[in-house]
């Protein structure tokens, strides 16, 4: 494999599993031997803390890269997982949405920063905030593909057309190559009809774009971030760990079949 593939995890709906999927998919690929960078683009910093990077120890964050001309390499932190690196986010980033409005090339700053890493990483993941503002636009502009996590809940599909319209807008102007690379069903509860119905609706709508792997609702997955560990380190035999390993394999199948 050559070059870097950039993948944004986006859905403006909050709490659907973007950060959980970003951290655990990234970790599963890193453990499979790929060099992975996860960029936290959410002021909440869930991917940052979920990978064990302490707020107090952060000297350079994604905010400094987007608004203070720091280089991306300067912001990269190692994690406890081999091959997995993170660019942390701090609460400063909450202001970036507004500060970016008046700066030059405001939509392409992240793309330029990622471009500077050359072939250092096989995959770069971007964990987006739950909004469709300039941060998400930066992610969509920098990305080769978007993965959309969808929570198997009532109203799961609400707001999706807005996201798809935004993706189309970016495709039409800033990033013609952008595609929807996948949809991941999260927090699936096989005992409920609702989960099954939502999964079916998503598959009817997205067809092959939807990943076959479904992420089950699992308490272990929600506990792991408070230990600063991906599920693979926290509880490798849990259902959540198995599911994200499967997702990693399916992701790699899609990405090697294309080459
Ligand atoms: N499969 C799962 N099973 C159980 N809990 C989960 C699962 N996936 C995520 N969670 C929990 O649900 C909450 C929301 O998940 P997560 O933070 O990944 O969503 P998000 O889309 O990144 O949220 P936000 O929009 O706020 O960034 C978190 O508390 C997380 O630990
Ligand atoms: Mg998140």
- Own/partner pairs for 65-69, CB < 8 Å, 24+ apart? 65/109, 65/110, 65/113, 66/93, 66/96, 66/100, 66/109, 66/110, 66/113, 66/138, 67/96, 67/99, 67/100, 67/103
| Ligand 1 closest atom vs CA 16 | 21
Q: State the pLDDT at residue 1.
A: 45
CB-based burial label for 165 (10 Å; 0-12, 13-18, 19+):
exposed
Average pLDDT in the 118-145 region? 97
pLDDT above 90 for 55: no
d(CA 23, CA 41): 13
Q: State the pLDDT at residue 155.
A: 85
Q: State the pLDDT at residue 182.
A: 98
Average pLDDT in the 195-210 region? 95
Between the CA of 104 and the centroid of ligand 2 the distance, in Å, is 27
Nearest ligand to the CA of 40 is: 2
Which listed CATH number (3.40.50.300, 3.40.50.1470, 3.60.20.10, 1.10.287.470) goes with 5-257? 3.40.50.300
pLDDT above 70 for 223: yes
Going by alpha carbons, the residue nearest to atom 5 of ligand 1 is 222
d(CA 117, CA 247): 26
């Amino acid at each position: 494999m050559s070059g870097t593939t950039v993948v944004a995890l986006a859905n403006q709906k909050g709490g659907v599993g973007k950060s959980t999927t970003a951290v655990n998919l990234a970790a599963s690929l890193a453990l499979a031997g790929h060099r992975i960078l996860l960029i936290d683009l959410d002021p909440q910093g869930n991917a940052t803390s979920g990978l064990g990077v302490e707020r107090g120890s952060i000297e350079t964050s994604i905010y400094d890269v987007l608004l203070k001309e720091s280089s991306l390499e300067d912001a990269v932190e190692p994690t406890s997982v081999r091959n997995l690196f993170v660019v942390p986010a701090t609460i400063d980033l909450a202001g970036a949405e507004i500060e970016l409005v008046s700066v030059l090339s405001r939509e392409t700053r992240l793309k330029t920063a990622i471009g500077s890493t050359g072939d250092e990483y096989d995959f770069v993941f971007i964990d987006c905030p739950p909004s469709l503002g300039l941060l998400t636009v930066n992610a969509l502009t920098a990305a080769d593909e978007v993965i959309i996590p969808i929570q198997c809940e009532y109203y799961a599909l609400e707001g999706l057309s807005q996201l798809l319209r935004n993706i189309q807008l970016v495709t039409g102007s800033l990033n013609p190559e952008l595609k929807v690379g996948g949809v991941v069903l999260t927090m699936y509860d096989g005992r409920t009809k609702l989960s099954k119905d939502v999964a079916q609706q998503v598959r009817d709508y997205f067809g092959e774009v939807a990943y076959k792997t479904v992420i089950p609702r699992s308490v272990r997955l929600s506990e792991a971030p408070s230990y600063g560990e991906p599920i693979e380190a926290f509880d490798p035999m849990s259902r959540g760990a198995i599911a994200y390993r499967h997702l990693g394999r399916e992701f790699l199948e899609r990405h090697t079949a294309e080459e």
